[in-house]
Amino acid sequence: MSESEFEFSENESEPINIKNLVSKYLRYWYLFVLSIILFLTAAFLYVRYTTPLYNISSTLLVKDDKQGPSMALNDLGVFQTTPSIEDEIIILKSKSLMERALSELSLNATYYVEGRVKTIEVYGEDLPLKILTSRLDSAAYGKWMTIHIKNNTTFELEDNLGSNTYKFGQEIRKPYGTFTIVAPPRKSRNEKTVTVLLHDLQNIAKQYNNKLNVSPFGNSGRVLQLSMVDAVPEKAKDIVNKVTEVYSKEIVDDKRVMARSTIDFIDGRLAYLTDEISEVEKDVEKYKRKNAVTDVATAGGLYVANQDAYTKRLADLAIEIDVLESIDTYMSEEANQYELVPTSLSISDPTLSGLIANFNQLQLERQRILRDTKPGNPIVTSINEQLENLEATILENIRNIRKGLSISRENLQARASESRANIQQVPTMERELLEINRENSIKTNVYLYLLHKREEAAISLAATVSNSRVIDPATASGPVHPQTQMVYLIALLAGIAVPFAGITIKNFINDKVEQTRDVEHATSTPILGELNNSGTYDTLVVTQDSRSPIAEQFRLIRSNLQFATAGKENKVILITSSMSGEGKTFFSINLASSLVLTGKKVVVVGFDLRRPALTERLGLPNEVGITSYLMSDGLTVEDILQPMPEVPGLYVIGVGPVPPNPGEFVMLPEVGELVNDLKDRFDFIIIDTAPVGQVADALALAPYSDSCIYMVRYNYTSKSQIAIVDDLYKSKKVKHPMIVLNDAKKENGSYGYGYGYGYGYGEVEKKPAWRKKFAKMSLW
C-alpha cells in the first residue's frame, strides 16, 4: 500500500469536538472562579454603597372644561381655544411651573449628614434643622455650610468666612444672605453635624425638570402620568404632588384672570352701549317731531283715505259742473226757449232746483194756456215775461254755482296734490325710521346679551374650579437602581465573560501548538505518539522496573515504531526538531532505553555539535566523543563508546570538544564510516542531532538514517514551525519522517493522555485513531 493512502487530507472537514473546545476553557477554571468572586464582590460593594434610586409616579386627569369663564364670549367666536393633551404636557414640563413648586416647598437648600460609610441626604422628618431664607444673593448659590449642633439650643455655623456660634431661631446676617436656622420640636439634636448646600432655584428647577417625565397613561387621551427617579423618595413625592397642585392653581388663576377680564370688558361695553342707545332714542324722537308723526303706518293710512275722499269729491264736483254747463247750454239756445229744462240731472243746489222747477211749471202753464188761446194772449205774454225773467235768474244762478264749484274743485285739487305728496313720502319715512329703529334694536340686543354674559362670568368667577384632578397621588416604588438581581447577574456574566474573552484572545494570538489537531491540520506527517509531562527532572524515566505513565508511553511509541517499520530496516533513527528545548535528548535516551528492554543493543549518538547536552544530561564525561573520533586517526569506536550503568546494553557517544565548524564536520566521509561501524555493532542507532529548523546538520545526516522522528512540544513549538516537518515529509528530504508530541498535559486534549494507567496508574483510555492505523498496517 502506497504512503499517500495514509496522508491526512488538509481539506478534510472534521466535526467540532465540543469536549476539546470546552476543555480549552475548563483548564483555566481557577481563573473563572477568581473572576466570578471578584466581580460578585464588586457587585456586592456596588449594591451596598451605591445610593439607591426610587421611582415616583402619579396620575393626573386633565378634563376638557367647556364651562370656564373663558367660555362666556365663545359663542361670538372670541377667546376660543382648542385644548390639547400635548399642550398640557408642555405646561407640566415648563421650567416656571417647577420653579414655583420648589419655591413653595422651600427647596433652595439640601441637607446632608455623615453616615457610617458615606454622606447621605436627609429630608422631611429626618431633618434635624431647617434654613429659612430672607435674602440670598447669587454669591450664595453653590455655597456649602457646615452646622455643628452642640445642644438643643445652640449650634456652630462654619463656612468660608469662618466659624461662629448661634442660637436656633436667631437671624443670621452674612454678606451672601440673611437667614434663620430653626429646629423641629421634640427632635434629638445633640452632637450632630449637618452639611447644607444652598441652591439657585432656577438651576435646581432645571435639574428636577429633566428628571420629571410626563406622558399619556395607557390609551387614555386625557390621563397623564408624572414620574421621576430620585434618591430621596419623600422629597420627589412632595415635588410631584406640588407640581400637580401648582398646575391646578395656575389653571384656576388663569380662569379667574379671564373671568375678571371678561367682566371688565363687558362693563366697558355696557357703558358705551348705554350712551349709544340713548342717542338713538333721541334721534327717533327728533325724527318724529320733524315729520309730525307718531306712527308712520297710521299716518300713511290716513293720507291714503284722504286722497280717496278728495278724488271722489273732485269727481262729484266735475259732474255737477258738467250738469250746470249742460243746463246753461240747453237754456241758452233759442230753440229751447219754451222747452222744459231736464230735471233728472243731479243738482245739489236747492235754490237752482227750485228755480228750474218754477221755470218748468210756467212752461207747462203756458203750454196749457196755448192749447186754449193764442200766443198773443196777455196771459201768455205775462207768462213769457215771467219765463224770460226766471230764465235769466236761472242762468245767473248757474253761473254763480259753477263759479263756486270751480273754486271748490281747485281747493280739493290742491289738497289732493298735497295728500299725494305725503303718500309718496311715507316709504322714505318708513325706511328712515326703520333704519333708526333697527340700529336701536341691535344696540339693545347687544346690551341685553352682554348683560346676560356678565352675569355668567360673575357666576363663573365665584365658582371657579380646576379642570384637572389627581387620580393617584405620588407614590414611590423600588429601588429601581441599582437592581440587585440584575447587578449580580451582570457581575456573574462579566465574571464568566472576562476570563472567557481573555482566554479566547490568548488562544487567538497564541501561535504555539496546544492540541494534537493543531499538528494534524498543519501537516500530513504521521504522528507516532505522545509523551506526557513526566512531572520529574530525571532524564532516564524508562527502566526495567518502571511502570510510570511516561514509561508506558515510551513502550507504546516503541510498539508503534515497530508497526511503522514492519518489513523494513530501521536501525538508524534520526531525532530532530524545529528548535532547541523540544525534548530531543530526553526522547533519544528513553527511546533507546525502551528498545534495550526488548533485548536489543542500542547506542545513542550525540550529533548536536553546537549545543552538546547528551552526556551532561546523563552525568557522563565529554572529553572524548564524535569530534575526537573524526579528527583523530588513532581513535576507534570502542574508545568513544560509554556504557550506561543503569541500563545494561545501552551505550552513549558524546560530542566531545565542540568544533569551530560543526556544519563541515557532519559532512565528513568519516561520519558515514562511523555509522556503518555502529550498525555492525548495535541493533539500533539513535542519532540526537541539532534542530533542523535552525541548522542543516540533520539534513546532512539524513542519508545515513532509516527513519526520522520529529519532536514537537506542546505550548512551546510554534504552529508555523510545523511547516518544516511538512516540507520534510512532502519533499522526502529525510526518510520516513514521523512526529512525536512531547510534554502533553490533560488540558491539551491529547490522544495519549492517560496511556499506561491500566498498569496500576489508572484506567486506559480509548485508543486514538492514529494508533488504530498503525495497528492495522505498515505505513510503508
The predicted-structure confidence for 699-721, as pLDDT tens digits, reads as follows 888 898 999 999 999 988 988 88
Asked if residue 770 has pLDDT above 80, the reply is: no
As a whole number, mean pLDDT of residues 161-184 equals 89
pLDDT tier at 498, thresholds 50, 70, 90:
very high
Identify whether the C-beta of residue 761 lies closer than 8 Å to the C-beta of residue 548: yes
pLDDT value for 433: 66
pLDDT tier at 767, thresholds 50, 70, 90:
very low
pLDDT tier at 779, thresholds 50, 70, 90:
very low
Element containing residue 456 per DSSP (H, E): helix 378-462
Q: Which cell numbers hold the place of 305?
A: 283715505
Question: Within 13 Å and on the Cβ side, how many CA atoms surround 123?
Answer: 18
Domain 516-775 CATH assignment equals 3.40.50.300: yes
pLDDT value for 40: 94
What three-state secondary structure class fits 576? strand
Cα separation of the two ends of the chain: 7
Between CA 28 and CA 132 the distance in angstroms is 63
As a whole number, mean pLDDT of residues 692-698 equals 81
Lowest mean pLDDT among 13-17, 160-164, 462-466, 587-591: 13-17
Calculated CA dihedral for residues 432, 437, 441, 444, nearest 10 degrees: 120
Asked if residue 14 has pLDDT above 60, the reply is: no
Asked if residue 640 has pLDDT above 80, the reply is: yes
Lowest mean pLDDT among 263-267, 643-647, 684-688: 263-267
The predicted-structure confidence for 335-394, as pLDDT tens digits, reads as follows 766 777 766 555 667 777 777 778 777 777 777 777 777 777 787 788 777 877 877 787
Q: Which of 12-16, 27-31, 310-314 has the highest mean pLDDT?
A: 27-31
Nearest partner of 81 among 89, 70, 91, 92, judged by Cα: 70
pLDDT value for 293: 61
> What residue type is assigned to position 136 of the chain?
L
pLDDT value for 2: 40
Phi and psi at 267, nearest 5°, equal -60, -45
Nearest partner of 652 among 596, 614, 705, 623, judged by Cα: 614
pLDDT tier at 227, thresholds 50, 70, 90:
very high
Asked if residue 762 has pLDDT above 50, the reply is: no
pLDDT value for 349: 73
The predicted-structure confidence for 610-637, as pLDDT tens digits, reads as follows 888 888 888 888 888 888 888 888 888 8
As a whole number, mean pLDDT of residues 154-159 equals 89
pLDDT value for 431: 64
| Maximum pairwise Cα distance, the chain | 239
- As a whole-number percent, the residues of the chain with pLDDT over 90 amount to 18
pLDDT value for 594: 92
Which single residue is written with the C-alpha cell 236747492?
Answer: 350
Q: Is the model more confident about 511 or about 760?
A: 511
What three-state secondary structure class fits 749? coil
Query: Other CB atoms closer than 10 Å to residue 189's CB: what's the count?
Result: 18
pLDDT value for 769: 43
pLDDT value for 428: 66
Phi and psi at 194, nearest 5°, equal -125, 130
pLDDT value for 746: 67
pLDDT value for 59: 92
As a whole number, mean pLDDT of residues 113-125 equals 83
Between CA 189 and CA 184 the distance in angstroms is 10
Which single residue is written with the C-alpha cell 534495550?
Answer: 596
DSSP state of 143: -
Q: Describe the chain by its helix, strand, coil percentages, rounded to 5.
A: 55, 15, 30
Nearest partner of 390 among 444, 354, 416, 346, judged by Cα: 354
Strand partners, 290: none
Calculated CA dihedral for residues 686, 691, 692, 695, nearest 10 degrees: -120
Pairing of strands 684-689, 572-577: parallel
pLDDT value for 463: 63
Look over the chain and give the mean of its residue pLDDT values, rounded to a whole number.
80
Nearest partner of 594 among 647, 663, 528, 515, judged by Cα: 647
As a whole number, mean pLDDT of residues 104-110 equals 88
Pairing of strands 154-159, 223-230: unpaired
Indicate the burial class of 203 (C-beta count within 10 angstroms; 0-12, 13-18, 19 or more).
exposed
Between CA 572 and CA 273 the distance in angstroms is 135
Indicate the burial class of 646 (C-beta count within 10 angstroms; 0-12, 13-18, 19 or more).
exposed
What three-state secondary structure class fits 472? strand
pLDDT value for 516: 84
Asked if residue 105 has pLDDT above 60, the reply is: yes
Question: What pTM was computed for the model?
Answer: 0.58
Alpha-carbon distance values, 173 to 135, 137, 157, 559 (Å): 9, 12, 12, 102
Q: Which cell numbers hold the place of 240?
A: 410631584
pLDDT value for 772: 39
As a whole number, mean pLDDT of residues 742-752 equals 67
Strand partners, 713: 742
DSSP assignment of 530-568 equals: EEE--SS--S----TT--SHHHHHHHHHHHHHHHHTTTS
Between CA 771 and CA 764 the distance in angstroms is 14
Nearest partner of 6 among 522, 524, 523, 521, judged by Cα: 524
Nearest partner of 640 among 670, 662, 660, judged by Cα: 670
pLDDT tier at 604, thresholds 50, 70, 90:
very high
DSSP assignment of 198-224 equals: E--HHHHHHHHHHH-EEEE-TT-SSEE
As a whole number, mean pLDDT of residues 426-440 equals 67
Nearest partner of 557 among 586, 581, 579, judged by Cα: 586
As a whole number, mean pLDDT of residues 215-237 equals 88
As a whole number, mean pLDDT of residues 216-225 equals 83
pLDDT value for 368: 78
- As a whole-number percent, the residues of the chain with pLDDT over 70 amount to 82
pLDDT value for 189: 54
Q: Taking the CA atoms of the chain, what radius of gyration do you get in angstroms?
A: 71
What three-state secondary structure class fits 154? strand
DSSP state of 718: B
pLDDT value for 347: 67
The predicted-structure confidence for 455-496, as pLDDT tens digits, reads as follows 877 776 676 677 788 889 999 988 888 888 999 999 999 999
The predicted-structure confidence for 59-78, as pLDDT tens digits, reads as follows 998 877 654 444 555 554 44
Return the domain boundaries, the chain. Answer: 3-50+482-509, 55-238, 516-775
Nearest partner of 532 among 750, 688, 772, 709, judged by Cα: 750
pLDDT value for 55: 93
